[in-house]
A and B are shown apart, each in its own frame.
Chain A
Amino acid sequence: MPLLINQQIVEDNWITLSPERLEETAELPQGDLIVPFTYFLENQAVLDAHEGQVGVQVNGDDNLAELYRLHQAFPLVAVEFPVLRDGRGFSIAMQLVRQKFQGQLRAVGDVAHDRLGYMERCGFNAFQIPEERFSQEDLAVFNEISVHYQGAAEDPRPLFRR
């Protein structure tokens, strides 16, 4: 699954553990892991003992207050867009950015061409795009609209303050 970071295609060094895979896995695999946020909350002792890095994946149904309380502990937060019309991830990203989350903020799920620009402006710096939805044209999408009225994650000043 292609991963874009800072508008470049990169190798994904993280292993994403879905709830299904975690159920089947007796032991955590080696390496850097992305686990569901609910799993993280329930298995902190196990994860503390893990040698690699641990990031979490959330969506709008998770306990976001808890996420915002803990976010600095994570080198990576993956925010899931379960379906096209679910835009909660944009606000989750904005709230993490506002709280100065410094790690990788990764958009996962229904992530494709026409939302990449909005996602980047809300603070995502990594985009996991389903294989069948990816094309080289995606790399050009970030600059389709070059002017903005609103502030964004990178520069929160709206146009009238710039």
Chain B
Amino acid sequence: MYQYNEVDQTLVNERVEQFRDQTRRFLAGELPEDEFLALRLMNGLYVQRHAPMLRVAIPYGLFSSEQMRKLAHISRKYDKGYGHFTTRTNIQFNWPKLEEVPDILAELAQVQMHAIQTSGNCIRNTTTDPFSGILSNELEDPRPYCEIIRQWSTLHPEFAYLPRKFKIAVTGAPEDRAASQVHDIGLHLVKNAEGEIGFEVLVGGGLGRTPVIGKVVREFLPKQHLLSYLDAILRVYNLNGRRDNKYKARIKILVNALGVEEFTRLVEAEWEFLRDGELTLTDAEIERAKSFFKPFDYDPKAAEDKTLADKLSADQSFATWYEKNTREHKVEGYRAVIVSLKPYLKPAGDITDVQMDLIADLAEQYSFGEIRSTHDQNLVLADVKKSDLFAVWQALDGGNMARPNIGTLTDMIVCPGFDFCALANARTLNIADQINEKFDDLDYLYELGDINVNMSGCINACGHHHVADIGILGVDKKGEDWYQITLGGSSREDARLGKILGKAVAADEVANTIESILGVFVEHRLDNELFRDTVQRIGMDPFKENVYAVAH
């Protein structure tokens, strides 16, 4: 992974002191509230329902055992012994004290971490596929480009006061596990007719109250122009994005208002000033970035392992976990392990200090000391020898992180909702529990095949409900929580927005409604068809008819 040099370390150290001074001036009454708000948000610090919330950056979701141990330490020393992983692959702490935040940042800086631009109207943490670098069909590992973008966007003087937040995702394989089409900018590594690798550039995707799928503004961008092209897009947005209404300030609104042709024309015109200029990436810089993400020194003997097959046939629980919670690796003898942060009746994405330490140990012992956080709020140990899988499973099971539910109905993305978030309209965690209680039969879940359920506690859509097979949106009606259901969304390569099933259902009816939906699915399903394919094939009507007929 990327290792800080003196410049990186100096930057985060100085940023800590800068924020310490900003906090001091605020507490001393020298810095107005609204100004400190912008400054603290740019450093990941919210003021939430119960306490401040600090969001720590995990660039493109990749971090080390040492960093995980530091996060565990911070959760113990400054918080209540847990953290929460988000769809932006960052981690949040829910209970820090404002005056202690500079100390937390100083501790993070010791392990090359920070909270820079994890919030605010600036360029946020760049995300990618959690399986980057280990896929056989990957064109190229996207992480070096994520790192290049990280550096360019960090404390960018021109783009710190954008009209609204700005999110970039990069993918390197044909599959899309980074929800790139619902980002302000989605970058896909692609090959052109000449066999060169570059980027397809999408702009203007996003969720929230106006969900939009991103549009292609350039089918092929040679790699060396990555930063100059991003610079052009950001400048066009900064100068032309709406600032009169925060709900219409995202770049998706600008792209839609201008039309993608006119938007592209503005970007290309701006880019004419920049192409081949100082921002053009040099081969040396690309190679330098790549040098941090080289394949590990894999054990050539790993492929000879014969023990896994025996273990799989001897232990059904292990075999089930292997089937659901591990993934193929391009190196023979290795698998990627998905650590489920969706245990029974616990908030999705939450992790305790003890669990953090356990993952740190496992990563160190079995996966080259690296951990990845995923956009669907799990963790990945990407490089585990097949012969070690049984030991890893046992340890994860002991830590309540081996629930074999990856990809299933209970592997939900869930925002923290009204219990924690000041913006939320409705509770989500109780609904997640209700669904977990209703669908506790793993055999039934496996029978249904992969289904993703995403839930948001408000229209801001942090839980990405628009792009789920089954989306759940909490809404407030006269002080009561109601839930609007959508079907048929996708955040993958076939990205699309879910359609609303009908009127919202009461809080105690959500799991029953999902049961009705699944009943329609099972009735119409052909062979082992996936839920999403059935929905596409039969449309919404059979679901509407059945769900509302039964429920009322």
The interface of chain A, by Cβ under 8 A from chain B, is 60, 64, 84-88, 90-92, 94-95, 98, 112-115, 117-119, 121-122, 135, 144-152, 156-161
- Cβ of A94 and Cβ of B14 under 8 Å apart? no
| Nearest chain B CB to A41 CB, angstrom units | 19
In angstroms, how far is the closest chain A Cβ from the Cβ of B132? Answer: 22
Q: Give residues 20-50 of B contacting A (CB, 8 Å).
A: 21-22, 30-31, 34-35, 38-39
Can you list 11 A-B pairs with a CB-CB distance of less than 8 A?
A60-B243, A85-B38, A91-B235, A112-B35, A135-B30, A145-B14, A145-B18, A145-B155, A151-B279, A158-B278, A161-B278
**Among listed B157-165, B460-468, B520-528, interface-contacting one:** B157-165
Instruction: Check if B227 sits within 8 Å of A158, measured CB to CB.
Output: yes
CB contacts (< 8 Å) of B238 on chain A: these are 87-88, 90-91
Pick the contact of B239 from A60, A112, A122, A149 — CB < 8 Å?
A60
Of B10, B21, B31, B121, the residue contacting A146 (CB under 8 A) is: B10
Q: Does B152 contact A (CB under 8 A)?
A: yes
B7, CB-defined interface residue at 8 Å = yes
Tell whether B137 is near chain A: CB-to-CB under 8 Å: no
Docked-complex contact B157 and A122, CB < 8 angstroms? yes
12 further A-B contacts with Cβ under 8 Å, apart from A84-B35, A119-B157, are A64-B239, A87-B162, A117-B157, A122-B157, A144-B21, A148-B11, A149-B11, A156-B278, A158-B227, A160-B284, A160-B285, A161-B278
Which of these, B38, B152, B227, B278, contacts A157 with CB under 8 Å? Answer: B278
B218 CB–A CB distance under 8 Å = no
Give every chain B residue within 8 A of A88 (Cβ-Cβ): 238-239, 243
Q: Counting chain B CB atoms within 10 Å of each CB, which of A84, A90, A113 scores highest?
A: A90
Contacting residues, chain A, for B34 (C-beta < 8 A): 84
Query: Which B residues are CB-close (under 8 A) to A122?
Result: 157-158
Interface size on B, residues (CB 8 A): 42
A161 to B21, CA, bound (A): 32
Q: Which chain B residues in 114-162 approach chain A with CB under 8 Å?
A: 121, 151-152, 154-162
The distance from the CB of A158 to the nearest CB of chain B, in whole angstroms, is 6
Chain B interface secondary structure, helix, strand, loop or mixed? Answer: helix
Closest approach, in angstroms, between the C-beta of A30 and any C-beta of chain B?
36
A119 to B39, CA, bound (A): 15
Query: Taking the nearest CB of chain B, how far is it from the CB of A25, in angstroms?
Result: 31
When chains A and B are docked, how far (Å) is the Cα of A121 from the Cα of B156? 9
Give every chain A residue within 8 A of B281 (Cβ-Cβ): 160
- The reply to whether B17 and A144 form a contact with Cβ atoms under 8 Å apart is yes
Looking across the interface, which residue of chain A has its beta carbon closest to that of B227?
A: A158
CB-CB nearest in chain A for B281: A160
B15, B152, B155, B288: which contacts A158 (Cβ < 8 A)?
B152
Q: Which of A91, A119, A144, A149 contacts B152 (CB 8 A)?
A: A149
Q: Which chain B residue has the least Cβ–Cβ distance from A148?
A: B155
Bound form: Cα–Cα A157–B282 in Å: 12
Taken together as a complex, chains A and B put the C-alpha atoms of A149 and B158 apart, in Å, by 13
Alpha-carbon distance between A152 and B155 when the two chains are bound, in angstroms: 12
* B399 at interface by CB-CB < 8 Å: no
Closest CB of chain B to A110's CB: distance in Å?
A: 9
- Within the assembled complex, what's the spacing in Å between the Cα atoms of A152 and B15? 18
Task: Please provide the chain B residues from 451 to 482 with a CB less than 8 Å away from any CB of chain A in the complex.
Answer: none
Contact between B157 and A118, CB atoms less than 8 A apart? yes
Q: Is the beta-carbon distance between B11 and A145 smaller than 8 angstroms?
A: yes
How far apart are the CA atoms of A86 and B163 in the complex, in Å? 7
- Report yes or no: B161 in contact with A85, Cβ–Cβ below 8 A: yes
Distance in angstroms from B267 CB to nearest chain A CB is 13
Residue of B nearest to A160 (CB): B285
B158, A161: Cβ atoms closer than 8 Å: no
Chain A neighbourhood of B31, CB < 8 A? 113-114
- How would residues 158 to 179 of chain B score, 1 for a CB under 8 Å from any chain A CB and 0 otherwise? 1111110000000000000000
- Interfacial chain A residues near B30, Cβ < 8 Å: 135
B157: min CB distance to chain A, Å? 4
Residues of B within 8 A of A85 (CB): 38, 121, 161, 243
Select B10's contact among A60, A94, A147, beta carbons within 8 Å. A147
A147 to B13, CA, bound (A): 11
In the complex, which residues of chain A have a beta carbon less than 8 angstroms from the beta carbon of B284?
A: 160
Q: Is B273 an interface residue (CB 8 A)?
A: yes
Q: Which residues of B contact A94 (CB under 8 A)?
A: 158, 235
Q: Nearest Cβ distance between residue B36 and chain A, in whole angstroms? A: 9
Q: In the complex, which residue of chain B has the Cβ closest to the Cβ of A89?
A: B161
> Which 4 residue pairs of A and B lie closest in terms of their CB atoms, listed nearest first?
A87-B161, A118-B157, A121-B157, A160-B285
Q: A87 to B160, Cβ gap below 8 A?
A: yes
B277 an interface residue at 8 Å Cβ cutoff? yes
Residues of B within 8 A of A151 (CB): 278-279
Residues 330-345 (chain B) with a chain A CB within 8 angstroms: none
**In the assembled complex, how far is the CB of residue A150 from the closest CB belonging to chain B, in whole angstroms?**
6
Inter-subunit contact B157/A152 (CB<8 Å): yes
Verify B14–A147 contact, CB threshold 8 A.
yes
Residue of B nearest to A157 (CB): B278
